[in-house]
Amino acid sequence: MDDITFKYLTDQYFYKKLLRPKTIDSYLKVVRTFKDFTSVPPTEVDQHIVLGWRNLVLKEQKRAPRTWNNKVSHMRALFNFGIAQGFLPHEQNPFHYTVVRAGKKRKKILTKSQMDVLYRRIDQYLDIEKAHGCCVLYNGRRNAMHPAWFWGTAISVLRYTAIRMGQLLHIRLCDVNLEERWIDLSSDGSKNHDEHRVPIVEALYPLLEYLLARAEEEGMEPEHQLFNVGWFDPRRKRKYPEVMDECPLRAFFRRLSRECNFTVSPHRFRHTVATHMMKSPERNLYVVKRLLGHVSLASTMEYIDESVDGLRNILETELM
């Protein structure tokens, strides 16, 4: 038992749990940060060491409480497994009772004026592409905003469906049904492992129609990943012949955020849709729950954010 290493523990845990690659990466990242803090093997980890790590993360590194609690949840699960399997000698998990209270934060959304700004930036790049093609280089490097029509379609899908980035990347050509106007979302890209279907609204239809036409022109097969820039940008075809990871999408949002002077991310579109619809929770609660693919109503209820104007009206009605 004394020679149990974190590598052995994680290998056994992953073999037993059959986790997704992304989940495995998150566990390995947390374990790496813990090993950077201490060289103590898992059999000798006690709560004093864990609290020392907590002090480093929260006070010295000044990370958010949610970040710490995320680390705890990973390590606690790993140690629960090790104790249950007899790999570790602990009578009690050293990560128990080490979470901290994380205050509720308002969801970060995009305002209407911000939406207007980011779409104007996309339109500017569309004009550049019409005049010069997609071969324009900036500072000797290709611009992450190209091809603008492709990225414009991607952000519109995020805006009008409220799906996550992982769900977007798992959409295949065959998952989009223009005739019946819906998109199938596979369990592979879902956080809760459930399949899901979202509608195609009127504003999104022509963009998807053009994307599908271009995909068929390029010879894309039904099972191929639809949102893969490699199909539509010859310079990136070699790097992403069939499957595109998150990197180009993240690079696009970094560039867009820099040019707009405010943060734009896939999840902010999701928060924006849900927060707007939950201004009328009595009408939209179950609609939003279904759209977001939530298992619990409690997750959906987090998007209720009473506006200051609404609070003022209530106070004036009740107190004046």
Q: Which CATH number characterizes residue 186's domain?
A: 1.10.443
Note whether 232 and 313 are same-domain residues: no
128-142, 184-198, 202-216: range with lowest mean pLDDT = 128-142
The average confidence (pLDDT) of the chain is: 88
121-to-101, 125, 154, 268 alpha-carbon distances in Å: 40, 7, 14, 17
pLDDT of 303 strictly over 90:
no
Quick check: is 197 in a domain?
A: yes
Based on the fold, state whether residues 30 and 125 are members of the same structural domain.
no
How much is the pTM?
Answer: 0.76
Confidence of residue 97 (pLDDT cuts 50, 70, 90): very high
Q: Looking at the domain assignment, is residue 48 inside a domain?
A: yes
The model's confidence at residue 140, banded by pLDDT at 50, 70 and 90, is very low
- At residue 18 the predicted structure's pLDDT band, cuts being 50, 70 and 90, is confident
Residues 135 and 67 in one domain: no
| Residue 230 is assigned to a structural domain of this protein | yes
Q: Which amino acid is at 287?
A: V
Burial of 222 (0-12, 13-18, 19+ CB in 10 A): exposed
Res. 138 pLDDT band, cuts 50 70 90 = very low
**Is 141 part of a structural domain of the chain?**
yes
Q: Are residues 78 and 129 in the same domain?
A: no
Q: Considering the domain boundaries, does residue 91 fall inside one?
A: no
Same domain, 66 and 143: no
Q: 183 with 143, same domain?
A: yes
Structural domain boundaries enclosing 287: 281-319
Q: What is the pLDDT of residue 107?
A: 75
Domain check: are 162 and 261 in the same one?
yes
Same domain, 181 and 253: yes
Measured CA to CA, the distance from residue 315 to residue 319 in angstroms comes to 6
| Residue 45 covered by a domain | yes
Which of the pair, 287 or 2, is modelled with greater confidence? 287
pLDDT at 283: 65
**Are residue 54 and residue 155 in the same domain, yes or no?**
no
Residue 240 neighbours by CB distance under 10 Å: 17
CATH number at residue 64: 1.10.150
User: What mean pLDDT is predicted for residues 158-180?
Assistant: 94
pLDDT band per the 50, 70, 90 thresholds, residue 58: very high
What was the pLDDT predicted at 139?
A: 46
Which of the listed ranges 164-168, 188-192, 204-208 does the model predict with the highest average pLDDT?
204-208
72 belongs to a structural domain: yes
Residue 215 exposure: Cα atoms within 13 Å on the Cβ side? 24
Residue 92 has what pLDDT? 96
Asked if residues 125 and 148 have their Cβ atoms less than 8 Å apart, the reply is yes
Question: Quick check: 308 pLDDT over 60?
Answer: no
Least confident segment among 2-16, 177-191, 280-294: 280-294
Residue 202 has pLDDT above 70, yes or no: yes
Question: Is residue 260 assigned to a domain?
Answer: yes
pLDDT at 35 exceeding the cut of 70:
yes
Of the listed ranges 46-60, 107-121, 238-252, 273-287, the least confidently predicted one is 273-287
- The count of structural domains within the chain is 3
pLDDT of residue 285: 73
Give the pLDDT confidence score for residue 137 in this predicted structure.
45
CB atoms within 10 A of CB 226: 25
Do 121 and 145 reside in the same domain of the chain?
Answer: yes
Do 286 and 260 share a structural domain? no
Asked whether 200 and 185 are in contact (CB, 8 A), the reply is no
Residue 250 has pLDDT above 70, yes or no: yes
In the structure, what pLDDT confidence band is assigned to residue 108 with cuts at 50, 70 and 90? confident
CB-count burial class (<10 Å; 0-12, 13-18, 19+) for 47: middle
Q: How far is CA 135 from CA 119, 205, 218, 231, in A?
A: 21, 28, 19, 15
Same domain, 69 and 179: no
